[in-house]
Structure 1
């Protein structure tokens, strides 16, 4: 595959365009004037401890997602795998925006921090200052981490790179845990993000849509053949 065809089939311009769309939409959601939010909480949330050291994997998420997307966009020549990942991320993040718009939500799990209780706690306090406790359902940190981990595990080019797969799996698990240990998300946000990811996997990674497209195509082709046969009979 030539490099020109490689980039043409992937339509890489979609990545920056959607990124801008998502960031603008999320900023608007965070800034809009809402008087009433739906509180997301379970009793198990109160049992989960606050562990500020998990700010490390939480912040690594940004580089992790960017690195995997860049790999599939620029280096992995399997166009199908690229579109599976892009479709999963796009659908998941768009569903999150729609839910946040129709169902304003928030959590009240965060401890009061003054930033003087240690380095890691100070970083968490800074995170709290720039990231509100609203629009949390489902967790995009969790959804995207699982999505890119699955993409790495199913990538044919990386099938023999056990070290990369192990590293991605461990980091993804730590990121998922960090959302709860930092009191950024409720257990409900995490579970629903996993369920949404499972749905996207069925749609894009198991040829679910492709099989139904082929069946529809075959059905329409048969209809056209029957119609053509009927027209010939009428002409005779």
Structure 2
């Protein structure tokens, strides 16, 4: 019983995420200058309020996938969590040095989805856009699920569908533009590779130490 309880202790490291997110609130306001990365292609993407549903699903989705990885394969769990923490800190540094904004629709309907969008707008200022944290963390969950040998094909598919729905939703609810999405995906690819190389290097060093100690004896 105690062994199974201890197996879940690594989940406590997830609590570092809300601590790091304190910086988001501090930086989520206009600095001078504020840039716009909107392109002509972004202008042709329609505002589709119903996509606020996958946008909001992001909150439980991230924690559910991290829990799944922790239970199934802690090596991948730690790699995913470390990548996420470094990615968040990198985003906050970019927000501080290169603050961007997104043009939001001036008029919306009065339906339930429009009201949900309005609620998001009222609690999240239109800054901290590049790169998108929604996209960064959602895409990272795909990397983690695919990178684990103990996540089933069906579970990987579910993660991919949810993650890409969230990523697309950031464009349709006008919280982000295409360059925000591209920047976040590129950042994940770089950090995932770097954290993986660092982890393998540490493991090789540890194995080398064991071999040297065995040779001594």
Normalising by the smaller structure, the TM-score range is 0.7 to 0.9
Match of 2:118 among 114, 122, 125: 125
Alpha-carbon separation, structure 2, partners of 1:104 and 1:166: 34
Alignment of 1:202-213 (within 5 A): 202-205=193-196, 208-210=197-199
Counterpart of 2:154 in structure 1 is 163
TM-score, with length taken from structure 1: 0.78
Q: Is the 8 A contact 2:17 2:85 kept in 1?
A: no
3-state SS of 2:28 partner: helix
**TM-score when normalising by structure 2:** 0.84
Q: CA RMSD in A?
A: 2.6
Q: Distance in 2 between matches of 1:211 and 1:152?
A: 19
Preserved contact between residue 57 and residue 175 of structure 1 (Cα < 8 Å): yes
Partner of 2:181 in structure 1? Answer: 190
Deviations 1:177-210 (CA, angstroms, capped at 9, x unpaired): 10111111011100011111111221134xx224
Distance (whole Å) between structure 1 residues aligned to residue 14 and residue 87 of structure 2: 14
Name which one, 1 or 2, has greater alpha-carbon Rg. Answer: 1
After TM superposition, what 4+ stretches of structure 1 lie above 6 angstroms from structure 2?
A: 214-218
Q: Which runs of 5+ in 1 are unaligned?
A: 219-236
Structure 2: gaps spanning 5 or more residues: 208-217
Q: Assess if the C-alpha contact under 8 Å between 2:99 and 2:129 holds in 1.
A: no
In the superposition, relative to structure 1, how do residues 111 and 14 fare at CA in structure 2: closer, same or farther (>3 Å)? same
Matching of residues 143-162 of structure 1 within 5 Å: 143-158=136-151, 161-162=152-153
Task: Give 1:86-101 correspondences, 5 Å limit.
Answer: 86-101=81-96
Please report how far the alpha carbon of residue 45 of structure 1 lies from its aligned counterpart in structure 2 after TM superposition: 0.7
1:135 aligns with: 128
Give, in whole Å, the separation in 1 of the partners of 2:21 and 2:198.
Answer: 29
Asked whether the 8 Å contact 2:24–2:92 carries over to 1, the reply is: yes
